[in-house]
Chain A
Amino acid sequence: MRKALLAAAALLVAFAPSARAQAPAVPRQGIVCTNGTTFDLTATPGYIETPDGNSVLMWSYALAGGEFQSPGPVLCVNEGDSVTVHLHNDLTEPVSIVFPGQTGVGGSGSSGLLAKEAPAGGDATYTFTASQPGTYVYESGTDPEKQVEMGLYGALIVRPAGHPDYAYDAATRFDPQREYLVLLSDIDPDLHHAVETGAPYHFDQLRNRYFAINGRQFPDTLQDNGVSWLPAQPYGSLIRVKPYNATGNPLPALIRMANVGTVNHPFHPHGNHIKEVAQDGRPLRTPGGGDASSEHFAETIGSGQTQDYLFSWTDQDSWNPGSNPFPASVASPDYRNLTFKDGNTWSSGSAYLGSKGTLPVGTVSQNICGEWYFPWHSHALNEFTNYDAGFGGMATLLRVDPPGGCTAVAGTASILAGTLNSGTATALAAADTAYYKVNSTVSGTRTADWYGGFTGVPRGSTGLAVTYTGRNSIAALPTTLWIWKWSTSTWVQMGAATGVGTSDVTSTRTPPSPQSDYIGTGANAGKVRVRVLTTGTTTNFVTQGNLLKLTYDAP
């Protein structure tokens, strides 16, 4: 899907470089904006895949020249833009687009009940000025009981002029790296099958069986944007945050929620309250212009409605194995709290954020490094299913990453030059009194050269950083840190040498880009190796490693 989108963008750019919609560089998670002021959409049929193995005929708006996708592309414009949407109709009946929340929508096409229409095989155009920022939907205004049910909908985002990091105003500033769309929809596959086979379409027999967020059903909702095995459903909805911190992480995430389904959905975000700041693209204010936002742990979002939420996750307990241990008198969080299906769990098994505990035998852990997960889902439990089989449907997960990212400590140690003095890799797990000691070589320029091995680093991790704490038996010796580059089977030096003497010195290093070169694949999947090289004297010495740690942001 990602390739197809980029190809479409290239085509559009070649056609009219100035204003046509730009397909985005797709982030793994978070909102995927199609930016522009002029958009070419095609109403077209296609199929989505559901987690239970079904495939369902949908109608949707696709970027002209691009692949079918459900929902339609997220159209992102700026406040004040003159927006033009061209609609070409590849369906066999007239189709249209309405833009709730926009005033003065003009354009051309054949006249229809709610909007100008594109006849079968024909075109229509819509123009409007995006006069106010907000989260909006666009959807069919033609025979809605069939066409909206069939999937003709998408989201429209209007960003405040000059402030893409505001939802509306300074009070709604958010972390642009944490902007999420949560577009709710529901599907009656029998009605879609009727359209597919030309059977009579009885909307009054509606019975929804599939419930989606951003066009996918749980657990597909957790997959990255643009995964190859969901070619028609490019948008994931895993919500990721780090704990609120007044200095390090002060800004909230922005959750842009919209309901394009046929029924109201009671949405239940676990973890912390969410703060509703706007509805239908208008901020909630007091008559005097003050803040009228409100906090919720459950909120019904009506059919056709949009709601914007700011979300910060605060660690209320801050359990820490050293300074604030989890009370021994209280049962630890139980893995069964988060077992969804087939023995799979996202639980870390630990009360400490960023630590992994022991999970029962037979449990398949989806946990990377002790991050926490909370379900965000429709509390209408029939909607928490895929064709009545739970859990599924209108659900995703909130993922709270450890504040410093994922942390791994060296689990193995191997000597390249020198001999083992004492200790094992276990000594490298913490800066404490235990050391992993390596004797230098004993002739010529003395050298102690060894590396620590890390495992379980997911492919696609970023922000790799190495921390080494150690000392030597004699005064300051130049010490360099290296990382193994799997693609060339060579060591790559990270930064300049540090002089390390007889007391502990801590060095932090980041490897040069691209960091994917340093995470093993195939038989070495998830492996990272970091080398500590101490040399430059003709006196025998002992290198004493205390801590060898890797931090990274998991994908």
Chain B
Amino acid sequence: MRRTMVLILIAVGLTLPASPASAADVSIDLCASAGTLTLPGPVTANIWGFALAGSGGSCAGVTPSVPGPVLSVDQGDTVSIAVHNTLTTPVSLEVPGLSLGQGAGISAPAGGAATATFTASAPGTYLYQGTERQVPMGLYGALIVRPPTAGQAYGSATTAYDREALLVLSAIDPAFNASPATADLYHYAPKFWLINGKAYPDTDLVHGVAPGTKVLLRYLNAGFDNTSMRLLGAYERVLARDAHPLANPFDATAETIPAGGTEDALVTIPATGTRFPVYNRQLHKTMLTFIEVP
């Protein structure tokens, strides 16, 4: 069977569990393109981002986003990701935690294309990303591998959830992004701290919850430093790190997600409270969103 991939609109930031499916061949065509991102100020930053390609892998007219599109596949799928590179510099694709069978990653030359083919062998939350200077430019996104049972993050029933929300954490230094090839990394100093590419008050709220709702927060740290995220008014049960379920899940209100790491945490909405802030505890105040009832 051949399916197209399931796309989750990150603007929504929250989805219902996807339905399970048997292993399939999944083909995804991504474009790596230059664009801009409007940040509070407003400041317009240059970015490189991934975008879904048009038919036939065409990148004509596509708009790259930061982070890139959310890719969702089923455990066991054979996944082919083709990168069509419209940039004037090579672009890599890596998926830390999954074996691409082609070395650490693939590289699409400037103006060219390359395809990574791999088996989505284990469920979990993964980053797909470029390398080195491509990352602070915005070439990253989330890849979710779903287990056979719908509505679970992993194989265990204790990872069942009602809602899920992606929190791709990153930071942008517009000065670096203005001249990525030559910027001195010694002076790399981000000015904008983002969730899913947005700074508060533009961040996506997590809606649609009620007391007892189990919300799966999928944290992905695409930024450059270890990031501590605070949750107020509720606890999150940390289920997995780097797509590996923990033997002893634990409850937390301040969790550090290492740069390049991912973490899955389950928030059971308490009986009291209607607004639960999730924010950067290292005091970068625009990295903030809320889980809200309803």
Question: Other CB < 8 Å A-B pairs besides A104-B273, A280-B252, 11 of them?
Answer: A103-B234, A105-B233, A113-B288, A143-B285, A145-B284, A203-B284, A280-B254, A286-B247, A287-B248, A304-B281, A305-B254
In whole angstroms, how far apart are the Cα atoms of A292 and B238 in the complex?
14
A127 to chain B, nearest CB (A): 11
Cβ A104 vs Cβ B271 within 8 A = yes
Q: Chain A residues near B232: list those with CB within 8 A.
A: 98, 100, 114, 141
Q: Do A145 and B254 contact each other (CB < 8 Å), given the known contacts A100-B232, A103-B233? A: no
In whole angstroms, how far apart are the Cα atoms of A264 and B190 in the complex?
18
What mask results when residues 168 to 212 of chain A are scored 1 for a CB within 8 Å of chain B, else 0?
A: 000000000000000000000000000000000001100000000
Cβ B253 vs Cβ A304 within 8 A = yes
B245-282, CB < 8 A from A: 247-256, 270-273, 277, 279, 281-282
Which of B158, B254, B284 sits near A100, CB closer than 8 Å?
B254
User: For this complex, into which size category does the number of interface residues on chain A fall?
Assistant: 35 or more
Q: Chain A residues near B191: list those with CB within 8 A.
A: 204
Q: List 5 A-B contacts (CB under 8 A).
A: A100-B230, A102-B233, A262-B283, A264-B228, A303-B254
Q: Which residue of B lies closest to A98 (CB)?
A: B232
Q: Do A286 and B251 contact each other (CB < 8 Å), given the known contacts A103-B270, A104-B270, A104-B273? A: no
Q: Which residue of B lies closest to A144 (CB)?
A: B283
A270-293, CB < 8 A from B: 279-282, 284-287, 292
Closest 4 CB pairs of A and B: A104-B272, A304-B281, A304-B254, A302-B256
B264 to chain A, nearest CB (A): 16
B59 to chain A, nearest CB (A): 35
Q: Chain B residues near A105: list those with CB within 8 A.
A: 233, 273
Q: Chain A residues near B279: list those with CB within 8 A.
A: 114, 144
B189 interfacial contact with A, CB 8 Å? yes
A395 to chain B, nearest CB (A): 22
Q: Which residue of A lies closest to B237 (CB)?
A: A282
Which of A141, A287, A304 sits near B249, CB closer than 8 Å?
A287
B176 interfacial contact with A, CB 8 Å? no
Cβ B189 vs Cβ A204 within 8 A = yes
In whole angstroms, how far apart are the Cα atoms of A479 and B235 in the complex?
67
B44 interfacial contact with A, CB 8 Å? no
Cβ A304 vs Cβ B230 within 8 A = yes
B262 to chain A, nearest CB (A): 16
Total contacting residues, chain B, CB less than 8 A: 34
Q: Chain A residues near B248: list those with CB within 8 A.
A: 284-287, 292
Which of B231, B252, B277 sits near A279, CB closer than 8 Å?
B252
In whole angstroms, how far apart are the Cα atoms of A203 and B287 in the complex?
14
B226 interfacial contact with A, CB 8 Å? yes
Which of the listed residues A98, A105, A144 has the most CB atoms from chain B within 10 Å of its own CB? A144
A400 interfacial contact with B, CB 8 Å? no
Which of B230, B250, B283 sits near A145, CB closer than 8 Å?
B283
Q: Chain B residues near A141: list those with CB within 8 A.
A: 232, 277
Which of B249, B253, B283, B285 sits near A101, CB closer than 8 Å?
B253
Q: Chain A residues near B235: list those with CB within 8 A.
A: 101, 280, 282
B235 to chain A, nearest CB (A): 7
Q: Chain B residues near A305: list those with CB within 8 A.
A: 228, 252, 254-256
B144-195, CB < 8 A from A: 158, 189-191
Q: Do A303 and B281 contact each other (CB < 8 Å), given the known contacts A280-B252, A282-B251? A: yes
A300 interfacial contact with B, CB 8 Å? yes
A148 interfacial contact with B, CB 8 Å? yes
A149 interfacial contact with B, CB 8 Å? yes
A475 interfacial contact with B, CB 8 Å? no
B175 to chain A, nearest CB (A): 12
A465 interfacial contact with B, CB 8 Å? no
A296-316, CB < 8 A from B: 300, 302-306
In whole angstroms, how far apart are the Cα atoms of A363 and B254 in the complex?
44
B196-248, CB < 8 A from A: 226, 228, 230-235, 247-248
In whole angstroms, how far apart are the Cα atoms of A143 and B273 in the complex?
21
A456-482, CB < 8 A from B: none
Which of the listed residues B226, B235, B283, B288 has the most CB atoms from chain A within 10 Å of its own CB? B283
In whole angstroms, how far apart are the Cα atoms of A197 and B283 in the complex?
22
Cβ B273 vs Cβ A144 within 8 A = no
Which of the listed residues B190, B191, B248, B273 has the most CB atoms from chain A within 10 Å of its own CB? B248
B46-84, CB < 8 A from A: none
Q: Do A280 and B283 contact each other (CB < 8 Å), given the known contacts A285-B248, A292-B248? A: no
Q: Do A303 and B253 contact each other (CB < 8 Å), given the known contacts A104-B270, A203-B283? A: no
In whole angstroms, how far apart are the Cα atoms of A114 and B291 in the complex?
12
Cβ B158 vs Cβ A303 within 8 A = no
Which of B158, B189, B253 sits near A280, CB closer than 8 Å?
B253
In whole angstroms, how far apart are the Cα atoms of A204 and B232 in the complex?
24
Cβ A148 vs Cβ B283 within 8 A = yes
Q: Do A303 and B256 contact each other (CB < 8 Å), given the known contacts A114-B232, A148-B283? A: yes
A380 interfacial contact with B, CB 8 Å? no
Q: Which residue of A lies closest to B192 (CB)?
A: A204
B263 to chain A, nearest CB (A): 12
Q: Chain A residues near B255: list those with CB within 8 A.
A: 302, 305
Q: Chain A residues near B234: list those with CB within 8 A.
A: 103
Cβ B233 vs Cβ A303 within 8 A = no
In whole angstroms, how far apart are the Cα atoms of A517 and B233 in the complex?
53
Q: Which residue of B lies closest to A284 (CB)?
A: B250
B231 to chain A, nearest CB (A): 8
In whole angstroms, how far apart are the Cα atoms of A141 and B189 in the complex?
25
